[in-house]
Structure 1
Amino acid sequence: MAVTPPPDWQRVPGASRAHLLVNAAQNDNSPNEKPPGRFKKFLSKPLVWALALVLGAIGAFVTNYVTKSLETVVVEATTDPILLYDVHQLEPVSRDESGFVVPGSHSDLEAVEWDPGFGSAENGGIPTASWVHEQGGTSAGWGTWEVVLEATRETEITIVDIRPENIECADPASGTLFIFGSQGGEAPMQLGTTIDAAHPEFKALPEDWNLLPDSDPDQTLTTFPAYGDTTQLSLAPGDQEVVRFFAHAASQSCTWDVALEYATGGEYQTVMLSPTGENAFALAALLPPEAYETVVIPYNYCADYLGHAVSGEEAARILAELYSSNALVDCA
């Protein structure tokens, strides 16, 4: 039996035409089957098939466009970052009651790698951060990091939140303590936190905060406004800004990252600062001097202007005399 083509046959594409021919032949060869329902008859109309093909083509185009757009966003985010940064731990930290702690006893000052900008083995200066890191040590008491931020896109970036994240703490380290004296320093923006507090957050610090006498630094930090409450950092395209981070460990040894949440072009994104090696965010709480095997007293604490490696018990005596007399002490 010949198959009768449906109306408007020329409007149906070849692939669909063949499909209709097969279906028609099957229907003609199956006289005992029930006649097709209204829905099947509707689907057999050539206009429906043409509309389905058009909608399918539109769907394929939209899917391909969205996929390529998402791929472009991913490539831009990974190969063309919006915010560049560089982290460097400062030597020395800008605060009294701070220093480096290194496992074991290091009473032989000649074996220490000293920072040429601050002293040498002869005058008991400051060990380099790289040497401390190689020995498995870290900053103690207070730590200071300087972060340089740079905007790379053509729109302004506003840092809306800066917070410590991924904080991990343990018992404070002991061994050899290298004490630092107070050092000054200024930066366009200074932020501070007690990293082992119950809910650490970065506070906006006044320029001279590190020079203020302070018997309870953690309590003092709570009196300053949190970052974002009174000020936010904005970077115009191509701008560089410096932020100095101060951290205090009251009772534990901690490591952490710093999350910077920023807004640009109406969108919010977060970049995680996770430096490694000697510039890592790592800090140990200061123990009482007698808890250390060795304490290296800095030259500017001693009457002979020489650094001295002494026992923890002797360091406790020297420091007590220094603070009570407010004068240089006989450290020999």
Structure 2
Amino acid sequence: MKISIVGATGYTGAELLRILASHPAAEIQYITSESQPGTAIADIYPHLTRFYTQKLTNLASLEKIAADSDVIFIGLPHGHAMEVGRKATAINANIKIIDLGADYRFKNHDTYEQWYKVPHTHRNANAVYGLTELNRSQIREAAIVGNPGCYTTASILALAPLVKNKLVDLTTIIVDAKSGVSGAGRGLNLGSHFTEVFESVKAYNVGGHRHTPEIEEVLGRLAGEDIILSFTPHLIPMARGILSTCYANLKAGVTAEQVDAAYVSLYGKEYFIRLLGRGGCPATKNTRGSNFCDLGWHIDKRTGRVVAIAAIDNLVKGAAGQAIQNMNVLFNIDERTGLDYAPVYP
């Protein structure tokens, strides 16, 4: 597969290149950067030395990039990917687009515009939400995949069995999630400086994080009705990882065995979902550098709540790894290809 990466100098772009270096069917055609064209990618990311000799180009060559590629990964800020996708699909009708930003994640474009404050300019795109375990059959036929957000991936995977099987009161869902600092991107930002985050944990964007409507829309489709939930993200002093702890009130009469069965039914055959079972406590260290999502759940009999916990690597299952998993599905190859390796530990 001839692959190009538009916006290759962020952490997600670098992670795509790291994983694709060992993908047997991947051939990198072009990598782009608007800020550093002409620079060798290994000069920016020395860990890629001996794996890539390519120099960065820019989007002035988009026509050639689209014509020469089977798939384009887009790692641009929101508002930019839809224009690249619109132009690239017009140039090459057979090309596949996988956007790691937010532009193609929403079925309801009005919701996107409300939360992201930019007009959606590619509303007629044949785009599918790229949470592979839930939308595999639709992804296989898609032209454009909107790769989910990192918080979103962990939270939806944790809650989907409960929502799909109508085991919980949908008005009581609370998501408490924590992310490593790489989720803030590579750009300079006072809030992610070492001295600001070391030995500290803080909540941010309380009640207003842009992943909230994404979680609500996907879970709402599973439930068959609109969902409004509380989502609070936290920044924790580590480079990688997301831990999402999700709470909901069980409906009257729902048993622990029904909850167990819901998780096994939905994920029992999913390679990248590792079920730790009732009482399991996922840890981010156990998924570091991998495409795995570890899931555990608890029944709090005293309060009548279920507590579902998911751990992922935000740059892999929460971004680049899931994008490659989706690429494998799009091209009808084993979706474990290039991703079937153990997490880094300790």
Q: Do both share a fold (TM > 0.5)?
A: no
Structure-1-length-normalised TM-score: 0.23
Structure-2-length-normalised TM-score: 0.22
User: Which is bigger in relative contact order (C-alpha 8 A, separation at least 6)?
Assistant: 1
The structure with the larger Rg is 1
The structure carrying a bigger strand percent of its residues is 1
The structure carrying a bigger helix percent of its residues is 2
